[in-house]
Amino acid sequence: MKLFYTPLRDVVHKVQVVALETGTWDRMERIPTDPYTRAPAHVAANPLSRVPTLVTDEGQSIFGGPAIYEYLDALNSGPKLYPPPGPDRWDALRHMTLGDAIFDIAALRQNELKRPRALQSDAMMENWLATIGRALDALDREATSFRGFTVGLISIACGLMYLDKLKNQGSLPLDWRQARPQLAAWYEEFTKRPSFRPRDNAIAMR
């Protein structure tokens, strides 16, 4: 398989955690990719030029994180990251939506910050921060009932890790741990697994 993805400093992407946990990491040729350069090989596999993008051994392109993770989990002979249909699965999918939204909204905000100051929308920035805040508050209320190791919980942990990266580099005025002790305690334990250790060298993004 080929994986186009963007190893970054101070943050581990879900695709790494999922690949390690499903035992598929070493079966991938990993191609570090800045999606904004529109590299021809990446665009040929994914016209959206978004990472991650997976190309299977049969040459099939799979993109959109949740589709890639479900494919890798189908190859997984160990404990499944997607529970079978039933309440645990619906929780895992809901958690994935929340974790991915935290990541995606924070990434949107980062892109807005790259625009000239006069063109940036303060209202949009505030709205994005408020949405992330509501998601974090809901997760804090629920965190003591988080169980197991699902694709949804991986998504939440990776979303939180991205918030840390942005805060530490000074581009996000948000300390998500503040007043969210349950979520913080869960995160400390959950991210101790070896799959959360950075593996490939970070690439420089434009």
Indicate whether 32 belongs to the interface with ligand GSH (CB under 6 A).
no
Out of 70, 88, 104, 112, the only residue in the binding site for ligand GSH (CB under 6 A) is 104
Out of 1, 3, 20, 51, the only residue in the binding site for ligand GSH (CB under 6 A) is 51
Minimum Å distance from CB 144 to ligand GSH?
A: 27
Out of 12, 49, 139, 161, the only residue in the binding site for ligand GSH (CB under 6 A) is 49
Which residue, 83 or 155, has its beta carbon nearer to ligand GSH? 155
Out of 44, 75, 107, 124, the only residue in the binding site for ligand GSH (CB under 6 A) is 107
Span of 75-83, 99-107, 135-143, 194-202 interacting with ligand GSH by CB under 6 A: 99-107
Residue with tokens 């509501």: 134
Which residue, 75 or 107, has its beta carbon nearer to ligand GSH? 107
Minimum Å distance from CB 181 to ligand GSH?
A: 27
Neighbouring C-beta atoms of residue 84, cutoff 10 Å: 7
Cα distances from 171 to residues 118, 130, 147, 160, 197, in angstroms, run: 17, 16, 32, 15, 23
Helix, strand, coil abundance in the chain, percent, nearest 5: 55, 10, 35
| CA gap 129, 132 in Å, rounded | 5
Which residue, 114 or 141, has its beta carbon nearer to ligand GSH? 114
Which residue, 73 or 100, has its beta carbon nearer to ligand GSH? 100
Cα distances from 100 to residues 1, 23, 129, 139, 163, in angstroms, run: 24, 22, 15, 13, 12
Indicate whether 65 belongs to the interface with ligand GSH (CB under 6 A).
yes
Indicate whether 34 belongs to the interface with ligand GSH (CB under 6 A).
no
Residue with tokens 């989990």: 73
Minimum Å distance from CB 38 to ligand GSH?
A: 8
Residue with tokens 């398989």: 1
Minimum Å distance from CB 9 to ligand GSH?
A: 14
Strand pairing category for 61-63 and 53-55: antiparallel
| CA gap 145, 148 in Å, rounded | 10
The residue ranges that bind ligand GSH (CB under 6 A) are: 35-36, 49-51, 64-65, 100, 104, 107
